[in-house]
Structure 1
């Protein structure tokens, strides 16, 4: 879904003539044609390739993760419940990418209903995925830093209720997408249609600005929670008896936070610059600068979406228990050539201890 608004008349135009600027979010005095050959090639070639790669890797990783977790549905630990919801959120988000790929190559071909539905689903799962990452960090904080006092609150029923409430909250934040998204032309002589925020005109413009604020909140708030919780976890583990497992857990906590930070920070910075330009807080000196905004925004969003591919490896497959389950699943699927090297490696490694022990390799998993 393209983050664009169709602008029917420039500031100061009181007649019924239509003056258009492509990729315009509000009334700008500078008219730039940013739908040139370079941008069309990017949308038709490079972005579909990036999205296709993200889609294939993400569906494979999250699909395996969901399969492994559902195989022992009634024996899931607290963090694994969050992981299951996270994998479902990432998978649902990834399933919207084929629609974006087709739209970038040939325009929107799927009608009004799917335009609104895909916009809602994409925003819902972007928000929910970020908050679930914060919940996982907070759960690890309770389990390690406040192990005894948190035993009452860390129950499967409480976790399911938390996840259900989170889905409802994110759904409420995403519903306006269904109201403002609509299928329309790209304001040129070509008959290509796009799924864009141009329904209800000025109200759609206001929603785009509001949505950008929500995007920033849904990045910086989970990042703050993860940073605090994993810092407290690292400090607690450092103050306890040293072990290789605890050192690995500290490195994993740092890696989890940094990967989330570096995947989504470029997009949030570009989005902030775009918003400041749309509000004319900053001025574009020439059309070249203005024309670069949308491609940079698309590239940084692709980097952010790649986080969906990394989640299974960061949160699940690094754990010994998950690796063993994955090896079993691959062998049952007839992929012996894939799992044999892992089985040999497992034969030389120590098995993990109990699920709840701090000496296991599953401290953060």
Structure 2
């Protein structure tokens, strides 16, 4: 083809007018835009306060448990190794909360590297906390229901190996945050630390993966495990002649109920959000979307609060940690020493009079 032919083709294409009345060029779908100003203002007022509360409670509670383990315990038991890892996972998770509090109140001011690191630490701590709680429940089940067989495997190496598996699973589940999180400028909102960098369909796919992963792997599976383990422990306790079995069963009920009450609302909202994306956000009313946003903010903080205080909740149900805490108080607050020592002595005397129990509640 010569130059004259190329020129004629160029003139034809330049002067060609596309027929925009062709139905294939007409967009028939209604594009729905839901303003998020009110929801974002609610998050800016509500989220930082709760993030700071969770951060303070987590550091106080987990720090106390960590100090008691260091002062009075040794890391040669399975329970203490799991408990130490649970405390560390909660501290890792809580360390990210001040960054998110600042982000919600203004914009992301910490740069790209910290956006990726903080996001990864946030999810690694969050996921590992749930898994360590489940692992501690399963270990308690082994110690009570299968005491003889469990004595052979519940060694230090078993605890370390199981802990390593939990950390690896949590890191793998959080890798997408390291890859997808980035900082970008959004008009009217400033710098954002969000998942971006790929086409909308790809991002939609990864959002669905995150939601279903959270609901199935980090809620439904642990919930079934916790329920099964504690039902089995309750049946085992009921079949014994333990004088304190009523107290033990009440504490089991409190643990299961608290776990269920704190985690279920958040994960139901997560599931609804996933279904909303799967069905198509265009068919969803703005009011329904806003309701889910509000529900997500509130229920997420309840779940986070449980993550932060769970070590205190689990450890101080046990008499051994109660005794350690009393000793610590007696040292730090001398005026309480006489009363606490009498109480401790009384508990020791009682323990000699009662038969050995199969679980430390």
> How far apart in 1 are the matches of 2:202 and 2:321?
47
What are the residue-to-residue correspondences of 1:26-45 with 2, within 5 Å? 29-34=31-36, 36=37, 38-45=38-45
Instruction: State the shift of 1:106 in Å.
Output: 1.0
Paired residues of 1:55 and 1:97 also in contact (CA < 8 A) = yes
Conservation of the 8 A alpha-carbon contact between 2:82 and 2:159: yes
Per-residue deviation, 1:226: 0.9
Is this contact kept in 2: 1:353–1:359, CA < 8 A?
no
Partner of 2:227: 227
Give the distance between the partners of 1:237 and 1:282, measured in 2 at CA. Answer: 50
Deviation at 1:318, TM superposition (A): 2.1
CA distance in 1, matches of 2:84, 2:258: 20
What is the distance in 1 between the residues matched to 2:59 and 2:112? 26
Asked whether the 8 Å contact 1:252–1:364 carries over to 2, the reply is: no
Give the aligned partner of residue 19 of structure 2: none
Which residue in the other structure is 1:350 paired with? 347
| 1:232-282 Cα distance to aligned partner (Å, 9 max, x none) | 0000000110412x2222222222222111111111111111111122268
Residues 136, 180 of structure 1: CA spacing in aligned structure 2 closer, same or farther, 3 A cutoff?
same
- Indicate yes or no: 2:266 matched with 1:267: yes
Report the alpha carbon displacement of residue 148 of structure 1 after superposing the two structures with TM: 0.6
User: Shift of the alpha carbon at 1:349?
Assistant: 4.5
Which one has a bigger Cα radius of gyration?
Answer: 2
1:127 & 1:341 partners in 2: Cα distance?
Answer: 43
CA distance in 1, matches of 2:116, 2:143: 40
1:184–1:75 distance in 2 versus 1, CA, 3 Å: closer
Matched ranges for 1:160-309 at <5 A: 160-186=160-186, 188=187, 190=188, 192-201=190-199, 202-216=201-215, 217-244=217-244, 246-280=245-279, 286-309=285-308
Given candidates 356, 359, 362, the residue that maps to 2:357 is 359
CA deviations over 1:71-102 (Å, ceiling 9, x no partner): 34535432121111111111111111101100
1:301-348 Cα offsets, whole Å, 9 max, x none, are: 10100102331332111222212222333455x4557x6697278358
Contact conserved, 2:107 with 2:189, CA < 8 A, in 1? no
Shift of 1:29: 3.5
Q: CA deviation at 1:292?
A: 2.4
SS in 1 for 2:184: strand
Greater shift, 234-243 or 277-286, is seen at 277-286
- Partner Cα separation in structure 1 for residue 104 and residue 342 of structure 2: 43
Structure 1 residue 222 displacement after superposition: 0.9
Distance (Å, rounded) in 2 between the aligned partners of 1:296 and 1:342: 46
2-side partners of 1:364 and 1:242: how far apart?
Answer: 12
SS at match of 1:108: coil
In structure 2, the CA distance between the partners of 1:199 and 1:309, relative to structure 1 (3 Å rule), is: same
The Cα shift of 1:185 comes to: 2.8
Deviations 1:13-54 (A, max 9, x none): x9xxxxxxxxxxxx99421101x2x32332222211112111
Q: Is the 8 A contact 1:140 1:364 kept in 2?
A: no
Distance 1:73 1:350, change over 3 A: closer
Provide closer, same or farther for how the CA distance between residues 150 and 199 of structure 1 changes in structure 2, counting only shifts above 3 A.
Answer: same
Which sections of structure 2, spanning at least 5 residues, go unmatched? Answer: 1-24
The equivalent of 2:121 in structure 1 is: 121
- Label 1:261 to 1:191 Cα distance change in 2 as closer, same or farther (>3 A): closer
Q: Is the 8 A contact 1:183 1:195 kept in 2?
A: yes
Show the counterpart of 1:17.
Answer: none
Closer/same/farther in 2, CA of residues 33 and 320 from structure 1, 3 Å limit: same
* Secondary structure of the structure 1 residue equivalent to 2:347: coil
Question: 3-state DSSP class of the match of 1:195?
Answer: strand
Q: Structure 1 residues 252, 157: CA separation in 2 closer, same or farther (over 3 Å shift)?
A: same
In structure 2, the residue matched to 1:77 is 77
State which drifts further: 162-171 or 226-235: 162-171
Partner SS for 1:74: coil
Q: What is the SS of the residue equivalent to 1:149?
A: helix
Q: Deviations over 1:190-228 (max 9, x none)?
A: 252121111223433322211111111211111111110
Q: Residues 94 and 308 of structure 2 are in contact (CA less than 8 Å); yes or no, is this contact kept in structure 1?
A: no
Change (3 A) 1:273 1:87: same
CA separation in 1, counterparts of 2:53 and 2:241? 43
Q: Please, what TM-score do these two structures have when normalized by structure 2?
A: 0.83
Cα separation, 1, equivalents of 2:30 and 2:278: 9
